[in-house]
Amino acid sequence: MSDPSGELPNLLAPIEADLERTREVLDRELSDNSPAVRDMLDHISRFRGKQLRAAMVLLCGRASGAWGPEHPQVAAVVEMIHLATLVHDDVLDGASVRRRVASVNTRWDNQVAVLLGDWLYARAFALSTRLQSPLVSRHLALTTQKICKGEIEQAGHRYDFDLSRDGYEAIAGAKTASLYAAACELGALYPDGDERTASELGLFGWEVGLAFQIVDDVLDLTGTQEEVGKPVGNDVDDGKVTLPVLHVYASADNSQRAAIRDAYTEPGLADRVGRLREVCDLRPGLEAARGRADELLRTALGRLSVLPDGPIRETLARAGSFVLQRRY
Amino acid sequence: MSDPSGELPNLLAPIEADLERTREVLDRELSDNSPAVRDMLDHISRFRGKQLRAAMVLLCGRASGAWGPEHPQVAAVVEMIHLATLVHDDVLDGASVRRRVASVNTRWDNQVAVLLGDWLYARAFALSTRLQSPLVSRHLALTTQKICKGEIEQAGHRYDFDLSRDGYEAIAGAKTASLYAAACELGALYPDGDERTASELGLFGWEVGLAFQIVDDVLDLTGTQEEVGKPVGNDVDDGKVTLPVLHVYASADNSQRAAIRDAYTEPGLADRVGRLREVCDLRPGLEAARGRADELLRTALGRLSVLPDGPIRETLARAGSFVLQRRY
């Protein structure tokens, strides 16, 4: 994912000390006395990325006043669960496309990637069980189930061109928005914050997370690898029919629908996104998806009125808006 | 794994009511309102197997007197973690059959098998966080890390013919014995049992679990698919050099060592175990491994003197001994 010109660190300057404490927790937790595990942890330390979910925990804690000394640990747990999902996502994305021709090296990496993801999940849960209140453990165990279920349902809807927008959003929400929602809600709730505020911030997180996923899906169709920071066109290769395509497909005639399906399924096709762009005009779908992301973000920002006015609320609004500023 | 003529259910008759309560918890937890998840859960319910780990929790609770109304839930959590490791093991091994039923990765694909395993881990942790005391969550999050680390280290020692017996046992212990140890220790400790008793029973579980893994490794070299319930020879195919082979290799001359390594590594070889049997006499290695399993079991049974005499202690001893009765 692109992080244009380091904007986010500047934006998060007001909570830099909290982020630094979170990074210290992560450095401590993402280490091990086994050389085999340590090697891999060193390797994945470069996917740590923007740590936007950790920032959400910290910002919602600071902004709501539900701040406690354990907030950096809570933020670290959320970030570790995200890291575990990333490690397993890489297995999943690679597995569906390249599995049949996997070299021994690829297979070996998958094997270890599954185990490392499992270790990260367990490590995150272990850290959460050391917190004073069981709230974080309970909440994040449920959230992790939601994420997995969203991914399982997504797998079940591969090549489903008739998926409704609600169906798409339920899946994208479960797999991506639920961790943002948990980050915001826990930030405002832990250890004993106001429930109404936490619930509103949970919805803020959900909407921001869903907007983020929609933008991600748009970028996968329109971006270049340089801009996006990872290969694009994966969704089409994997049979994931995302919002822009669902929109175009819904209003296409039968022959165009067949051509769209062929772009996803024709055996041996090298550039599926290129073919997709040839056989239909994606622009109305991309516009609709961007419009939906805008709408979600507007709703989300409206919820921040539950918070007292101030610089941290302002930072939270800017961090939320950041998801739409990614290049597309 | 073979379950000869239903001996185990008879053996466990004294705790049948507790096991039944555990199965009720499992039935409730291993269900979901998502059809995609439910299909897979229905499928894996067929490889629930002997539930020996759950039985260990229950027996250690009953035998130590540390019994509480939540013991069946604790037993279910342990069993669910075991089930999650089985689902991921199948992905790692590329296994196509588990307990005579197609594995999840064969019936669906690796992608959903990884996700289902993740879901099961999260589900198990969620159940553990609903217990009165955080003891089970804390203990099992650490145990799960140990299991993953053992598997990662095992992967790092593929084709390592110079692994010492201690090195082998550290890995086999972490990946298999640690969950038996946790089952026994938690059964005797939860919610407020005697620590010395729990610690002895934890060591009992470790030794029984390690004996179990050694027997499993022996069966992989000597059994048939019909007897063992899953394809045999997997370890050799996967480059896992287990105790019998390590023993034979250690006392082999250079040309025999080369032949043993070739049996593991020669490209395209169809029957690696067959080749291994041709190029060396495995019997001394098999004898040594069986001897070590016997020794571990004897030590384990000695530890039961920490418990009051009685029928449940007797049952625990028989359940421990059961691991050596599997056909080989």
pLDDT tens per residue across span A199-246: 999 999 999 999 999 999 999 999 776 666 666 788 999 899 999 999
What are the tokens at A316? 């939270």
pLDDT given at position A4: 44
Average pLDDT over residues B146-175: 96
Which amino acid is present at B119? W
Q: How confident is the model at residue A88 (pLDDT cuts 50, 70, 90)?
A: confident
Half-sphere exposure of B146 (CA within 13 A, CB side): 22
pLDDT given at position A69: 97
- Residues of chain A positioned with their CB less than 8 A from the CB of B36: 149, 152-153, 155-156
The CATH number assigned to the domain holding B276 equals 1.10.600.10
CB count within 10 Å of CB A262 equals: 14
pLDDT given at position B101: 61
- Residues of chain B positioned with their CB less than 8 A from the CB of A142: 122, 126
Q: Which of A31, A121, A139, A240 to mutate against chain B (most B CBs within 10 Å)?
A: A121
Please answer whether residues A70 and A174 qualify as being in contact, where contact means their C-beta atoms are separated by less than 8 angstroms: no
What are the tokens at B57? 């929790």
pLDDT given at position B98: 60
CB contact under 8 A, A118 and B88: yes
At a CB cut-off of 8 Å and minimum separation 6, what does A9 contact?
none
A98 pLDDT more than 60: no
pLDDT given at position B90: 76
Please answer whether residues B241 and B163 qualify as being in contact, where contact means their C-beta atoms are separated by less than 8 angstroms: yes
Q: Which of B122, B138, B152 shows the shortest C-beta gap to A144?
A: B122
Q: How confident is the model at residue A324 (pLDDT cuts 50, 70, 90)?
A: confident
B131 pLDDT more than 60: yes
More confident residue, A271 or B95: A271
A327 pLDDT more than 60: no
A104 pLDDT more than 50: no
More confident residue, A5 or A114: A114
B1 pLDDT more than 50: no
Give the tens place of pLDDT for each residue, B291-316.
999 999 999 999 999 999 999 999 99
Average pLDDT over residues A162-173: 97
Share of chain B above pLDDT 90, in %: 75
Which amino acid is present at A135? L
What is the residue-averaged pLDDT of chain A? 89
Q: How confident is the model at residue A40 (pLDDT cuts 50, 70, 90)?
A: confident
Handedness of CA B143, B149, B154, B157 (dihedral sign): negative
Average pLDDT over residues B312-325: 91
Average pLDDT over residues B119-131: 97
pLDDT given at position A230: 64
What is the residue-averaged pLDDT of chain B? 90
More confident residue, A36 or B154: B154
- Residues of chain A positioned with their CB less than 8 A from the CB of B123: 141, 145
pLDDT given at position A10: 85
> How many separate domains does chain B show?
1
Question: Residue A246 is part of which domain span?
Answer: 4-325
Q: How far is B133 from chain A (nearest CA, A)?
A: 10
pLDDT given at position A103: 31
Q: Which of B91, B116, B145 shows the shortest C-beta gap to A119?
A: B145
B93 pLDDT more than 90: no
A28 pLDDT more than 60: yes
Q: Is A151 on the interface with B (CB under 8 A)?
A: yes
Q: Is B82 on the interface with A (CB under 8 A)?
A: no
pLDDT given at position A325: 79
> Exposed, middle or buried by CB within 10 Å (0-12, 13-18, 19+), for A145?
buried
Q: What angle do CA A242, A243, A245 make, to 5 degrees?
A: 70
Q: How confident is the model at residue A111 (pLDDT cuts 50, 70, 90)?
A: confident
* Residue position matching structure tokens 């598997």: B151
- How far from the centroid of its chain's Cα atoms is residue A236's Cα? 18
More confident residue, B325 or B207: B207
Backbone angles phi, psi at A239, to 5 degrees: 80, 15
pLDDT given at position B267: 93
CB contact under 8 A, A148 and B112: no
Number of A:B CB contacts under 8 A? Answer: 141
Average pLDDT over residues B251-262: 97
Nearest in space to A86 (alpha carbons), one of A207, A7, A179, A20? A179
- Residues of chain B positioned with their CB less than 8 A from the CB of A112: 152, 155
Share of chain B above pLDDT 70, in %: 90
CB contact under 8 A, B129 and A108: no
Q: Which of A152, A158, A159, A171 to mutate against chain B (most B CBs within 10 Å)?
A: A152
Hey, which bits of chain A come out as E strands?
none
Q: Is A31 on the interface with B (CB under 8 A)?
A: no
CB contact under 8 A, A137 and B121: no
Q: Which of B127, B129, B130, B133 to mutate against chain A (most A CBs within 10 Å)?
A: B129
Q: Is A134 on the interface with B (CB under 8 A)?
A: yes
Measure Cα distances from A242 to A161, A258, B311 in Å: 9, 17, 61
Q: Which of B88, B141, B144 shows the shortest C-beta gap to A114?
A: B88
User: DSSP letter string over B163-177?
Assistant: --HHHHHHHHIIIII
A90 pLDDT more than 80: no
Nearest in space to B144 (alpha carbons), one of A129, A243, A263? A129
Q: How confident is the model at residue B106 (pLDDT cuts 50, 70, 90)?
A: low
Give the tens place of pLDDT for each residue, A62-77.
999 999 999 999 999 9
- Residues of chain A positioned with their CB less than 8 A from the CB of B37: 149, 152-153
Q: Rounded CA gap, A270 and A262, in Å?
A: 12
